[in-house]
Amino acid sequence: MLDIHQFGYGSDNYGVLLHDEASGETAMVDAGDASRALAALAETGWQLTQIWITHHHGDHTAGLGDIIASTGAKVYGPAGISGVSDVLDDGDEFTFAGRPVSVLATPGHTLDMLNFHIASEQLAFTGDTLFAMGCGRLFEGNADMMWASLSKLMALDDETIIYCAHEYTAANAAFAISVDPHNEALHRRAEAVTDLRAAGKPTVPTIMALEKATNPFLRASDPAIRAHLGMAADSDAAVFAEIRRRKDSF
């Protein structure tokens, strides 16, 4: 088992540290804020050995130069980002603390988006692609592309623990109910999220099975959502596109 330390930065970002006690190796997912990242390392006492970058946006990369300078960590990530030493693409694999880490390209939010999957730990890091009850805005890609990316993530084991990069869950829940109003699991989860946020607690990580049951962006094939949208005969990608379009103006 890896030790995991999630920390907040910015208005709603999450960074994550993964640590293997046996080897002493530590990985960090994304590098948006150097001072918060270095504080998290100081707090845990872990020595950073790897950084995994999901995509080029500043809230995921702005601290990279300073974190490299302080730690000398090796940086895995997409092409075109200053500081990335090991450029990765879909299907690539690298090793962290003796465990294979699989790289899944999930374009849509950006074209360069990479997600990271450690099958042996049932862990996935989905960046700004899959959020708790949500998905990333389509800044660079289109709806077909994002639907294909989310479908790739849905093929992961149902018990996969999902770490995403933002605490957007409460707002996502309100939107989810607007397109999936009769989903009892969704209502129960929305109440749980309200309680967690009222207590100042994170709603991340989540689990794939729970996302499949409550995240409308993964539920384009659901008959009740299709009926609600009047899209019973449309393709899953078209239903997804309509849900994404509605979220943009919610």
Alpha helices in the chain (DSSP H): 34-44, 58-61, 64-71, 143-154, 169-179, 184-198, 208-214, 223-229, 236-248
Sign of CA dihedral 211, 213, 219, 225: negative
Q: How far apart are CA 32 and CA 53, in angstroms?
A: 10
Q: Report, in Å, the least distance between residue 53 CB and Zn ion.
A: 11
Per CB under 5 A, 128 contacts Zn ion: yes
Q: Report, in Å, the least distance between residue 163 CB and Zn ion.
A: 15
**Nearer to Zn ion by C-beta: 58 or 91?**
58
**Nearer to Zn ion by C-beta: 167 or 222?**
167
Q: How far apart are CA 119 and CA 122, in angstroms?
A: 5
Q: Report, in Å, the least distance between residue 159 CB and Fe ion.
A: 26
Q: Report, in Å, the least distance between residue 55 CB and Zn ion.
A: 6
Which of Zn ion, Fe ion, none binds 226 (CB below 5-8 Å, type-dependent)?
none
**Nearer to Fe ion by C-beta: 33 or 59?**
59
Which of Zn ion, Fe ion, none binds 117 (CB below 5-8 Å, type-dependent)?
none
**Nearer to Zn ion by C-beta: 46 or 168?**
168
Query: Given the rule CB under 5 A, which of 92-100, 120-128, 210-218, 224-232 is the region that contacts Fe ion?
Result: 120-128
Query: Given the rule CB under 5 A, which of 54-62, 91-99, 175-183, 232-240 is the region that contacts Fe ion?
Result: 54-62
Task: Compute φ and ψ for 101, nearest 5 degrees.
Answer: -110, 120
Per CB under 5 A, 128 contacts Fe ion: yes
Other C-beta atoms lying within 10 Å of the C-beta of residue 226: 18
Per CB under 5 A, 30 contacts Fe ion: no
**Nearer to Zn ion by C-beta: 128 or 211?**
128
- Figure out which of the listed residues 25, 30, 59, 180 binds Fe ion, where binding follows CB under 5 A: 59
Sign of CA dihedral 83, 86, 91, 97: negative
Peptide bond into 205 cis (omega under 30): yes
Q: Report, in Å, the least distance between residue 157 CB and Fe ion.
A: 25
SS3 assignment, position 110: coil
Cβ(123)–Cβ(117) below 8 Å: yes
Task: Compute φ and ψ for 28, nearest 5 degrees.
Answer: -125, 135
Residues forming contacts to Fe ion in the complex (CB under 5 A) are: 59, 128
